[in-house]
Amino acid sequence: MSEKIKRGKISDRCLILSKEKLYSAGVSPILSTPVKQGVLFPVVGSVSSHAGGSDNVSQIEGASMEGCNADVSENFGVAGNLSEEVRFGDVYKIKLQWSGEAYAGCFFQLLTRNEYLRRPISLCGMGDGYVELAIRVAGSGTQELVSRQVGDYIECFGPLGRGFEIPECGLLSNQIQNDLYASDDVERNSENLKKKRYLVIGGGIGVAPLHPLVKELKNKTVKSAYKKHREEINGEQVLEQAAQIMNQNAHVVDVVLGYRDTPYLEDIADYVCVEDKNVDISGYQNASHSNVMPVLEKLLNENHYDDIYVCGPKKMLDAVALACMDSGYNPQLLTEAYFGCGVGACLVCTCEVNYTQKYARVCADGPMFRAKELYIEGAENKSLGRLIKEREEKKRADKQIVVLNSKQVNLAKNTTMADNIDLSNEMDNSLSVNLGGLELKSLLTTASGTFGFGREYNEFFDIGILGGISVKGLKLDETPGNPGRRIAEIQSGMINSVGLQNPGVEAFLRTEVDFIKSKNVAVIANINGGSVRDMVAMAERVNEAVDAVELNISCPNVSAGGMSFGTDPKMVKEVVSAVRQKVTKPLIVKLTPNVTDIGLIAEVCESEGADVLSMINTVTGLAVDPITGKTPLARAFGGMSGAAVKPVALRCINAVRSRVQIPILGMGGIGSARDVLEFLRCGATAVAIGTEIFRNPLLPVEIDRELRAFLQASGISNISEIKPLVD
């Protein structure tokens, strides 16, 4: 049963209505035999996008989003039960039953049966009661998805992301209609209906999300708009005269599609470009053996365009963007990245914007960006930049009008999925706990770095059901985070190297605290610093505004050569003692598991005045591509999280519980009510949900209900009655 959520988003099990193979890759350069049941499936990331550019490019998985999470974890997997041969690079179109909204340029998150993270797949078609998705086989996750048959289900949520901007081209205002119909001077009035011209450019799998775009651009012409009105008002000669003029003024959409070899989904193309000269192109319209650039340059020289839309591999996007900017345009680019949560909370899918080395979230601020919003190498003198902050401030308005493909959707304040969920029987105190002096209405909190500041997930459920939110890790000043790729998927988890991208303490206090408090949720400020002085300054600054301070001692101490505070008992003593003197609210100290004796670190924290221990932080990990020998993360190592770390977390909590008296906020791989109970049995008082929410955005709601049902069935009045094993 689907649950409707904000902005028309839906989380649902979607029935597969049809499946069509669009492109057969033949024998892959890596996979020399077809994938069959039990056959090893080796893949080096995403190899070729079959795109208009000449280089192999790693993309997001699916339509324009191919290979996003198809990297290290998809290098070796075992194929499921297949009724057909599936090769690396094959492209399928799957039609899903869908009752929600969809818009050109959006994407959907699909849950696979064999990989940890969801696969982001772009929309390639939509209609009454269905959406169509084009999926390129880039690894074992997408291979599993396309192996499903008609009548099977796929767990899907969306639509997500910032789609293409489509103007109100040709939807006649009432005033124009009235003026036109009331006057015999059709010629004069038709000047209100100006002809427009658009250019659409796609490469490889990137042609798929252009299909709904082209359809909508062509449907929103004065010709089609007039046809609708003409059917409603018959018998007047003036309307027939207007029809002729509008036919002449119908908007023009030039579509250029590029492919490495055999074209597919080319039915919308006015120009087809194929790089492989061995491919017969005689049956295609305006076909040439080239990439898209020669055709693009010709069209830019011959025509003026009101807007330009581009989707394809990164090298093609950059080349097209530079050519368009040289001609004075600011095209819309549907970009690519490696996704984590898919809603903008985790900050792993970033791209560099063209001002002061800052990063935007591809899944939320994009995937559509104007070329001048991005940093494109070689475009320094062509781009003025458009601050992402302006868009963020606009999004954060209590009441806003969002234009989704020319359709206005009124987003009233607090209109969320939770409005459709009856919580009347769930507001008892059975999940309330006291966490070191911090009264929480629920033991369920969120782990820092996975939930942003709560705004993103408030679009999926009422975050007021939570006990507290540990916000994105903060520093004194705004921090851009790490450049390059920030995420690698592993079996049952992921490794991240975000680099503490955050807006800084002052921006947090100014823009985020009141929002969280308005939800009646405890605000836990997670602070990080490169020195004891920084830690103390931050703690003192946030103390009055928040409900608790979480001191992250996993960050490096710059004055000690970059050694983590939390690995040396002497440094732990110094920083906890100093912060304790400035904090009057409950002080939570977050422990790293990357130590020899975590119990000793916990004892030092308690002796220096910590009220609560939160544990565990991420486990240091490394992912390696066995074929290339390269690490996917730009900084090689990162923090491992997800279900894979749960046994480590349980061991650490159980070991610490017997050595300290202060309560523990447990975290690490919590994905169900059963997991929560395991943490409680090992010694936790409350828990924090982290990376698992990337797989299921409604996870806190489900765990809340499952726990309440468990307590009721067990005759337990409050969750705190569940005692740890060590007791």
* Active site residues per annotation: 555
What's the gap between Cα 265 and its chain centre? 26
First to last CA, the chain: 41
Residues 6 or more apart in contact with residue 70 via CB below 8 angstroms: 43, 45, 46, 61, 119, 138, 139, 141, 142
Q: C-alpha distances in angstroms, 320 versus 52, 208, 252, 517?
A: 11, 18, 20, 46
What's the gap between Cα 35 and its chain centre? 29
Handedness of CA 346, 349, 354, 358 (dihedral sign): positive
In terms of Cβ atoms closer than 10 Å to its own Cβ (0-12, 13-18, 19+), residue 651 is: middle
- How far apart (Å, rounded) are the C-alpha atoms in residues 592 and 596? 10
SS (H, E, C) 658-680: CCCCCCEEEECCCCCHHHHHHHH
CA-wise closest residue to 254 among 209, 199, 210: 199
The H or E element containing residue 409 is strand 407-411
- How far apart (Å, rounded) are the C-alpha atoms in residues 61 and 369? 18
- How far apart (Å, rounded) are the C-alpha atoms in residues 99 and 159? 11
The H or E element containing residue 400 is strand 400-404
Q: C-alpha distances in angstroms, 485 versus 209, 631, 633, 690?
A: 24, 10, 5, 20
664-667/686-689 β-pairing? parallel
Count CB atoms within 10 A of the CB of residue 134.
Answer: 29
DSSP state, 511?
H
Q: Angle CA(637)–CA(640)–CA(644) in degrees, nearest 5?
A: 140
